[in-house]
Amino acid sequence: MRYLFLSLLMVLSLPLGSLAGYREEFEREFLSKPWAGEQVEEDACISCHVAEKMDPKFKNIPQSWKMSIHYQHNISCHHCHGGDPKDAEMSMSRARGFVGTPKYAEVPEFCGKCHVGILKNYLESGHGKALKSTGKGPNCVTCHGSHKDEQYIKKANIDIINERLCSKCHSYERAKIMKQALFLTEKKMGTLEESFKRLKAEGVYIEEEEKALFNIQAEFRTIFHTVDVSLVKERTDEFAKKLEPIEIKVKNTFHELWFRRNFSAFLMLLFAGMGLVVFVLSKPPRE
């Protein structure tokens, strides 16, 4: 009986196996792609810039981009440089908005296409005015880097203000005062970011708080770009205060997690206790 059944199974699977042979080519192609129906996008810019034939000057650009914060947020070549990433022929065409590498004095407008608020403050600042009037002065790349050589664009942080960078043109004094003014508030924001990470790891979804923090950070850092020492000093406390409601919320959330842990521990002990009692009761009485 069972032999018949097993042999029927084998026999029936043979013709299906032979059909599989016709799909061998499809399988090979299918196998090389991931299991999922993921939409893999062709990027003409990347495929040329990583090719063997490419000039070494441009070859490490994709690599540097992949380390950057832009890559982490799905910002690709054409978002800044224009051109058509889906069509190799038109990838660097002016008709598709390609702008190439911006000239030194045009870098702020290049980045300011997206970073609108910062551009405004920068243009009003001593740095911006210097660049526009003399053609010399720091532009965005000076402090934030680009994908030239070994650089890549990191997430903004307070240590971009440092002696080596700022004393290139003038004394470090003013920058130092500003950095000190920024320091405490930046520290608070860093602590909040850490708390967010911990909360996320514990399964709490904190989108609203993350957005609120981002907004405060963005506003705060935008002000810095005016490089107006007195303004920054004046407003740093204001921003520290804005962080307070978020800090309270975070504290409450940690407390809530503590409560949950204790509550379920209590239930666990109740069940363990009952199990123990039932176990002892189930033993025959010793008379």
Partner 1 sequence: MGVGKKIRDWFEVRIGLDDFARVQFNEFRVPRNSNVFHTLGLVTVVAYLIQVITGILLLVYYTPHPDFAFKSVQEIMNTVSFGWLFRQMHVVGSSLMVIVVFLHMVSVFFMGGYKKPREMTWVMGGLMFLITLLFCLSGYLLPWTQLSYWATTVVTSFPTAFPLVGDFVSRVLRGGEYVTGITLGRFFALHVSILPPLFLFLMALHIFFVKRTGLSTPPFGLSSEQQSPWTEYRRETHPDGHPFYPYFVKKEIFMGMLYLTVMFFFVTFFPTLFLPEETNTPADPFRTPSQIRPEWYFLAPYQMLKLIPNKFIGITLQIILVAVFLLWPFLDTKKEPNILKRPILKTVFFLSLILLAVLTFWGHYR
Partner 2 sequence: MKRRKFLKVLLGLLGSATVVTFAYPLVKFLAPPEGESKTRKLVVKKSEIPIGEAKGFTYNNTPVIVINRPDKGFIALSKVCTHLGCLVTYERGKKILLCPCHAGVYDIEGNVVSGPPPKPLQKFPVRVEGENVVVG
Following CA atoms 212, 240, 223, 214 in sequence, which dihedral angle do they give, to the nearest 10 degrees? -20
Q: Which range in 113-121, 128-136, 211-219, 271-279 contacts partner 1 by CB under 8 A?
A: 271-279
- Check binding of 202 to partner 1 (CB under 8 A): yes
Shortest Cβ 259–partner 1 spacing (Å): 10
Cα(106)–Cα(112) distance, rounded to whole angstroms?
A: 10
- Interaction pattern, residues 37-76, with partner 2; x per rule: CB under 8 A: ------------------------------------x---
Cα(84)–Cα(94) distance, rounded to whole angstroms?
A: 10
Binders of partner 1 among residues 58 to 77 (CB under 8 A) are: 74
Q: Which range in 51-59, 109-117, 126-134, 270-278 contacts partner 1 by CB under 8 A?
A: 270-278
* Of 16 and 95, CB closest to partner 1: 16
Cα(5)–Cα(1) distance, rounded to whole angstroms?
A: 6
**208 within 8 A of 250, measured Cβ to Cβ:** no
In this structure, the number of other CB atoms found within 10 A of the CB of residue 267 comes to 10
Q: Which two tokens stand for residue 177?
A: 């005062």
**Tokens 């069940």 appear where?**
271
Shortest Cβ 265–partner 2 spacing (Å): 12
Q: Which two tokens stand for residue 285?
A: 């009485």
- Check binding of 272 to partner 1 (CB under 8 A): yes
- Check binding of 17 to partner 1 (CB under 8 A): yes
Which amino acid is present at 15? P
Q: Which of 116, 184, 248, 265 touches partner 2 (CB under 8 A)? A: 116
- Check binding of 252 to partner 2 (CB under 8 A): no
Cα(101)–Cα(150) distance, rounded to whole angstroms?
A: 17
Q: How many CA atoms lie within 13 A of 87 on its CB side?
A: 10
Task: Kindly list the residues in this chain that would bind partner 1 in the complex (CB under 8 A).
Answer: 1-2, 5-6, 9, 13, 16-17, 19-20, 22-23, 27, 30-31, 34-39, 74, 200-205, 260-261, 263-265, 267-268, 271-272, 274-275, 278-279, 281-282
